[in-house]
Chains A and B, each alone.
Chain A
Amino acid sequence: MAELDTSVADVPVTAPPPKRRKVHQEDSTESTPRYDTPDAKEGQDGKDKDDKSTLRVSIREQQRESPSASRSPSPKRRDNYYSSDHDTSRISRSITRSPVSGDPTPFRTPAADAGVDVASEPPQPRQPTKPNFKPRLILGGHRKPISQVRISPDGRWIASASADGTIKIWEASTGRHIETLVGHMAGVSAVAWSPDSKTLASGSDDKAIRFWDRVTGQPARSRPLLGHHNYVYCLAFSPKGNILASGSYDEAVFLWDVRAGRLMRSLPAHSDPVSGIDFSRDGTLVVSCSTDGLTRIWDTSTGQCLRTMVHEDNPPVTSVCFAPNGRYLLAFSMDSCIRLWDYVSGQVKKTYQGHTNAGFSIGGCFSVVDGKAYVTAASEDGDIVLWDIKTKEIVQRIEKAHDGVCFWVDLHGDTMVSCGQDGKIKVFRHRGPVEECSMAAEAATSEVPNGTGDSTDRAAPEAMDVDQDQSRSISPLKTDAEIKNEES
């Protein structure tokens, strides 16, 4: 890390084109990275209201989901509630907010909630389990908005790339901060995990791609990959980890030999910045998308374009990924639509609507919850939205997960991670209907670690204990001084 490549600095920095995802520094008054708890934010205004609203949402949903909610007459009604489209859901939020805010301590009194939830009889077996993600952790430390957050393939680590030029690695289960990777000289737009979860690649506005060793926190390669003429904006590892695909503001897609750090192929891909890139599961195809509205599929071995997909209205596409089986593509476009393409026939099979995406490069992914697939996406109003693949209905909406824009959501198993303009990372965990009931008692206190430790109820499941204990023993993040030490 000591030797930073100065060649980048020597390149005359021309007036950078406007970036969609890059947002100027906002209210980052808390420069010291720390672990966020709702309690700690007590004194602040405005912001914590939204945080509270997140919590309220969780509670509200819990009551809805819990069997005790005999008020909701049928599951049908729940469906209606969730599948409400964007506008109505907004209304519903504003409605729910006012009565809850009238309640002085809605989530400080777990006993009250527990009394309602636990006392009720165990849940009837509901056949289709819906995604039911509950907030679990809030990770703070980045001083600027976070552009991308990714869970490692083994599910153990979270990597976040921020406009402050650093990448941070977190432990997914506890939220413990593991490492801050410093080396980029400009904001970092993209991170990608190697398939073995041991290496991290990062792409930055300094036009460089760097590899990091997850174990040591040191650069895995002494020199960054240089070659892009403009911001590196998106990255993807091949399934074998031997090729890295990168998309840049210079409108090209580069394929790199990871071992040698050598540029294998440069694809003159688009006529606008390349905004998203992904590999198919067998590594033979690369898909790239751009704000020119095109989504292109490339043959990895020959570098030829095999298919181009464009929607009639030609909306800018901001992110793209392959379906888990590789037969479909999910393209996020800036007309607030997510389209599922069958790339063989070149047809749109599904259009998912209900989120807001008009000005930023936001991302999402396919998610599998209890063996069923969903589409998960971030939204510019700070929400996270999950759709049923087949019915296109919204099955869960996590409202106000972030202040401002929520940029990226990633899922692995039951864990969901999101990041946003507020410089925070939120970790959510799916709770199945069986867990739901036993969880409910503790949910209010343990969903988000608040450090008070007032809950001494040991009857909760093991997993919950772990969450609580570890949340209390979280090590403080590195101070600025430490970071400087690393740099020198």
Chain B
Amino acid sequence: MNLLLSDDYLLQDYPENITNTIRSGHTTCLRFNRRGDYLASGRVDGTVVVWDIETMGVARKLRGHRAAITSLSWSRCGRYLLSACQGWRAVLWDMADGKRYREVRFRAPIYTAELHPWNHHQFVASIFEQAPCLVDIAEPIDVKHILPSAMKRANTDADAATKEKQAKEDAKQQTTASIYTITGDHILAGTNKGKLNIIDVNTHEIIWSEKICSSVVTTLKLTGSGRDLLVNSQDRIIRTFNVPNLSAEDLDPDTIQVPLEHKFQDVVNRLSWNHVTFSATGEYVAASTYNNHELYIWERGHGSLVRMLEGPKEEQGVIEWHPNRALLAACGMETGRIYIWSVTSPQKWSALAPDFSEVEENVEYIEREDEFDIHPQEEITKRRLDAEDEDIDVLTLEPQSKGYDDDMDGTAFRIPVLFNLGESDSEEEFVAVSTGTVRRRSLGEGGEGEAAQTEEKAVVGGKRPTAGKTGRGRKR
């Protein structure tokens, strides 16, 4: 609704500066939910923290993993969150009560675990040095379907030596990233040899495969429309592809084409990219850099670099673009802080004084014919009241233009508001809080919650020695 009142929101659609820094432990992994009101963050110690983007405070803490979180995925309704960790297991959390809804154990650390876009009882996991799995968790006892990493060979007439060679090659293929297409009918999987596989969810077979880059595929991302694919690879090139409609009735696997659209790279510095993300609409591509502090933002229309975001003096790991706003979340590799990049529009002064309006240049004022006529007050009032003959509708809702508003009618799931978050915090975590603590205490609110929100200004003060704070934390 605020869009009705402001126009400058739409002027710039990529973030410019850090508006918040939030911290809970050492964050390694981030994911926004579909509506963009919650941000899930996974920590090194295995705790999953759900942040409320509106308040920049902790909404839920989910404990159960014992190793660093590697992947997070929300269900469509926002009620379930799938987290996977290096400790060989994936947990589906129910946000309604913050409890484990399902837990699945694997035999190796998990690279990625992605929930089916429509069915929260199914997910696909790519596992370290093992075949990827399609996991059905409709029943409490999960069913794992092994997915192939290499295309089935059609050449049955090849000799034994070739076959052996091919089998060896195939065995080397390992899936390192896997995501669902937007309809959930297919899985896009990237391998350590730079191949992109399209796997049918029902038959569990690769229907199409192609080598798209020369090194390990580390990240796969789709836009909201599902028509564009973003691939990060260790060959220092970020690629975007156009994805055909794989759910078409007359899909012929032999005619599938996934054409390359853009290649983004830093040819001067030969940078490699930690993590990549599409903007809300897919108009921009953002990437965090390896061994470097900047975030790069390219514009996809022309494939040009539009912005390098410089801010915190540390390397950035996982980055996530908000699903509908010009807001970017990035987590620092050293401190584990979450930096929120966004746009700040200046206060319009005309909004504070309705008699004034802001004009670009001088305007000659033309007075109205009757502007200084004197009328009796009653007549003015009466005339004014008579003029109020408009038909007013206070009930009908204006149709929402954007898809993410389709559940604004209140029926959608909402994470309950908890009052006792502070009680679950351990001493160690409390010490880790930096500047936010100071500010909260000045309001007489110590010890409750641990949301360490700091305004941009406060970031400077964040370097103060933590020893003093540690002491204060222990005194309590």
Residues from chain A with Cβ under 8 Å of B161 in the complex: none
Residues of A with C-beta under 8 A to B4: 344
Flag B340-359 by CB within 8 Å of A: 1 or 0 each.
Answer: 00001101100111100000
Residue in contact with A351 in the complex, picked from B385, B410, B443, B445, CB distance below 8 Å? B385
> Interface size on A (CB < 8 Å)?
66
Q: What B residues does A389 contact at CB under 8 A? A: 392, 394
Q: Cβ of B56: which chain A residues have Cβ within 8 Å of it?
A: 257, 264
Q: Is B379 an interface residue (CB 8 A)?
A: no
Is A280 positioned at the interface, with any CB of B under 8 Å from its CB? yes
CB atoms of A297 and B5 under 8 A apart: yes
**Docked complex: B437-476 residues within 8 A CB-CB of A:** 440, 443-445, 448-451, 453
Chain B residue nearest in CB terms to A282: B1
Give Cα A227–Cα B442 distance, bound, in whole angstroms: 9
Does B419 sit within 8 A of A, measured CB to CB?
yes
A31 to B354, CA, bound (A): 49
Task: Give the residue among B59, B392, B440 with the most A Cβ atoms within 10 A.
Answer: B392
> In the complex, what residues of A have CB within 8 A of residue B85's CB?
none
> Shortest distance in angstroms between B163's beta carbon and chain A's nearest beta carbon?
60
- Say if the beta carbon of B369 comes within 8 Å of chain A: no
Spot the interface stretch: A157-165, A306-314, A464-472: A306-314
Q: Chain B residues near A308 (CB, 8 Å)?
A: 351-354
Is A185 located at the chain interface by the 8 A CB criterion? no
B48 to chain A, nearest CB (A): 16
> Does more than half of chain B's interface fall in helix, strand or loop, or is it mixed?
loop
Question: B440 near A262 (CB under 8 angstroms)?
Answer: yes
Q: Which residues does chain A contribute within 8 Å of B417, judged by CB atoms?
A: 194, 196, 199, 240-242, 258-259
Distance between Cα atoms of A299 and B9 in the complex (Å) = 11
Report B394-422 CB contacts with A as 1/0, cut-off 8 Å. 11111000000000101000101111011
User: Distance (Å) between the CB of A287 and the closest chain B CB?
Assistant: 11
Partner of A259, one of B59, B351, B388, B397: B59
Candidates B54, B351, B444, B448; contact of A305 at CB < 8 Å: B351
CB-nearest residue of chain B to A222: B448
Assuming the contacts A305-B352, A325-B397, asked whether A226 and B54 have C-beta atoms less than 8 A apart, the reply is no
Minimum distance in angstroms from B370 CB to a CB of chain A: 16
Say yes or no: B394 contacts A323, CB within 8 Å.
yes
B54 touches A301 (CB 8 A): yes
Fill in one digit per residue for A315-335: 1 if any B CB lies within 8 Å of its CB, else 0.
000000001111110000000
- Whether the pair B445, A240 counts as a contact (CB closer than 8 A) is no
B119 at the interface (CB under 8 A from A): no
Residue in B351, B354, B384, B448 whose CB lies within 8 Å of A260: B448
CB distance from A299 to the nearest CB of B (A): 5
Chain A residues whose CB sits within 8 angstroms of the CB of B453 once the complex forms: 262, 264
Contact check, B54 vs A306: say whether CB atoms are below 8 A apart: no
Chain A, range 198-212, C-beta contacts under 8 Å to B: 199, 211
**B395 close to A223 (CB less than 8 A):** no
- Distance in Å from the Cβ of A331 to the closest Cβ of chain B? 13
Contact A262 B57 (CB under 8 A): yes
Q: Could you tell me if A306 and B398 are in contact, using CB atoms closer than 8 angstroms?
A: no
Chain B residues whose CB sits within 8 angstroms of the CB of A284 once the complex forms? 1-2
Q: By the criterion CB–CB under 8 Å, are B37 and A240 in contact?
A: yes
Interface presence of A100 (CB below 8 A): no
- In Å, the complex CA distance between A223 and B449 comes to 13
Across the interface, A223 reaches (CB within 8 A) one of B418, B421, B445, namely B445
Interface members, chain B 328-349 (any A CB < 8 Å)? 344-345, 347-348
Q: Judging by beta carbons under 8 Å apart, are A304 and B353 in contact? A: no
Q: Quick one: given A305-B351, A306-B351, are A259 and B2 in contact (CB under 8 Å)?
A: no
Measured CB to CB, the nearest residue on chain A to B37 is: A240
Kindly identify which residue among B6, B410, B445 contacts A262, using a CB–CB cutoff of 8 Å: B445
CB-based contact B54/A259 at 8 Å: no
Quick check: B388 and A350 within 8 Å, CB to CB? yes
When distances are taken between beta carbons in the complex, the residues of chain A under 8 Å from B37 are 240
Given A259-B419, A260-B448, verify A327-B55 contact (CB < 8 Å): no
Whether B59 and A302, one on each chain, are in contact in the complex, defined by CB atoms closer than 8 angstroms, is no
13 contacts between A and B (CB under 8 A): A242-B55, A242-B417, A243-B55, A258-B55, A259-B417, A259-B418, A261-B448, A262-B448, A282-B1, A296-B352, A300-B54, A325-B397, A327-B393
Q: What are the 8 tightest A-B residue pairs by CB atom distance, in nearest-first order?
A: A260-B449, A323-B394, A257-B55, A306-B5, A284-B2, A257-B57, A226-B444, A241-B417
Using A258-B55, A302-B344 as known contacts, list a sample of 6 further A-B pairs with CB atoms less than 8 Å apart, ordered by residue number in A: A227-B443, A242-B54, A260-B57, A297-B5, A350-B388, A373-B394
